[in-house]
């Protein structure tokens, strides 16, 4: 197989921006990062004609896209459509995310994701099961009638051997004793969310293997002067990571800037919490029998409750730069390297480095997506605007 050399763009390497460099791709992986004028003679050279070449974005919370909602039809076809919609916005790896639902739907979703990975659907890394083991007091848009206790049968199902990553969001204060440790010991990534856990309860969960926090600030106990809450525990802990929905609606940008100042860039991951409108043609959709409408970039039900987002990862990176004052290097890290590390995939993807899978995204000078690559396979469709 002939190697392909990508030249002409500024590379965003782990060490920072690099000009005059080329990425050599062979067998779906990065074979070399070298000077553009020192390429192997057999390489097929492709000039990207400017812009930035970044590691592809990794999104750990994707409820839908392309007018499809994962809960509505948890199938390989649905997953393929969602992944294709998000690829237009530079997402080269994602976790289809199931919102709280019945046990049968959870089982179907797990089966569908495993089948999608077996079928080689581009970009599918595993599954995120958000609920139904959540606290009704912080239900958000979730249907509290679907909430159930985390019982031994579900723990056993979640711990069963699987293809890909398995991420579970739960309310740690409601988890049975030892459940978080059992899940963690079996390779399940456990995140806290939709929770009333106190600071002490959250710290105890972290000691049991809690790995992160789903959409920091949203649907959890807040930082206070005498009770630091879940937010305080998340900002203090140096082992875990938290997701940030940087859409200007879920959290005030100043609060996000404070979180980054307190914990540092390495603790944060950009997530979209995306709904079907991302990459879709329709501004509204149905969620559990409720009509959700997108107005001014926010998805809400008739009562005004936020219902996921209309955010893409490309827009999240632009917002990290424009709203939070991050450099592109920092935005890229939160969109690629940090989620890869959170998912335990940082030896394989999330960076432009030799030996890594060639998961890449090209941005223009306005940080709009031109192209993407998944395992070296190029797509010429970007967000374009």
Residues marked active site are found at 273
Largest CA distance in the chain: 65
Instruction: Note the Cα 176 to chain centre separation in Å.
Output: 27
DSSP 8-state symbol, 265: G
Concatenated DSSP letters for 233-252? HHHH-SS-EEEE--SSSSS-
Measured CA to CA, the distance from residue 189 to residue 157 in angstroms comes to: 14
How deeply is 73 buried, as exposed, middle or buried, from its count of CB atoms within 10 A (0-12, 13-18, 19+)? middle
Angle subtended at Cα 160 by Cα 157 and Cα 162, rounded to the nearest 5 degrees: 115
Cβ 84 vs Cβ 116: under 8 Å = no
Task: Output the DSSP codes for 288-320.
Answer: TTEEEEEETTEEE-TT--B-SB---HHHHHHHH
3-class DSSP state of 209: coil
Q: H or E segment at 77?
A: helix 76-87
3-state DSSP of 101-169: CCHHHHHHHHHHHHHHHHCCCCCECEEEEECCCCCHHHCCCCCHHHCCCCCHHHHHHHHCCCCCEEEEE
């Amino acid at each position: 197989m002939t190697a392909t050399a990508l030249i002409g763009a500024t590379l965003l390497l782990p060490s920072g921006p690099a000009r005059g460099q080329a990425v050599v791709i062979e067998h779906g992986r990065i074979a070399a990062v070298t000077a553009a004028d020192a390429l192997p003679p057999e390489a097929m050279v492709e000039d990207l004609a400017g812009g930035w070449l970044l590691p592809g974005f990794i999104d750990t919370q994707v409820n839908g896209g392309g007018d499809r909602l994962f809960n509505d039809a948890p199938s390989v076809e649905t997953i393929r459509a969602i992944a294709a919609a998000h690829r237009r916005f530079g997402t080269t790896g994602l976790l289809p995310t199931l919102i709280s639902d019945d046990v049968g739907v959870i089982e179907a979703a797990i089966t569908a994701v495993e089948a999608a990975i077996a079928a080689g659907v581009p970009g599918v890394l595993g599954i995120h099961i958000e609920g139904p083991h959540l606290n009704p007091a912080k239900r958000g848009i979730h249907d509290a009638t679907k909430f159930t206790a985390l019982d031994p049968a579900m723990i056993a199902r979640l711990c069963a051997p699987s293809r890909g990553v398995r991420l579970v969001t739960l309310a740690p204060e409601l988890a049975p004793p030892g459940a978080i440790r059992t899940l963690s010991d079996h390779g399940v990534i456990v995140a806290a969310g939709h929770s009333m856990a106190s600071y002490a309860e959250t710290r105890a969960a972290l000691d049991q293997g809690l790995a992160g926090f789903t959409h920091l600030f949203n649907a959890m106990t807040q930082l206070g002067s005498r009770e630091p809450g879940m937010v305080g525990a998340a900002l203090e802990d140096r082992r875990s990571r938290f997701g940030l929905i940087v859409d200007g609606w879920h959290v005030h940008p100043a609060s996000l800037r404070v979180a980054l100042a307190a914990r540092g860039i390495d603790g944060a991951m950009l997530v979209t919490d995306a709904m079907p409108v991302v990459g879709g043609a329709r501004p509204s959709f149905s969620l559990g029998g409720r009509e959700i409408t997108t107005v001014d970039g926010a998805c809400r039900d008739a009562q005004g409750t936020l219902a996921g987002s209309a955010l893409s990862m490309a827009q999240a990176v632009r917002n990290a730069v424009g709203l939070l004052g991050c450099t592109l290097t920092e935005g890229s890290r939160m969109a690629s390297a940090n989620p890869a590390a959170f998912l335990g995939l940082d030896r394989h993807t999330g960076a432009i480095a030799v030996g890594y899978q060639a998961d890449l995204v090209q941005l223009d000078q306005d940080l709009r997506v031109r192209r993407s690559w998944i395992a070296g396979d190029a797509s010429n469709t970007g967000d374009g605007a």
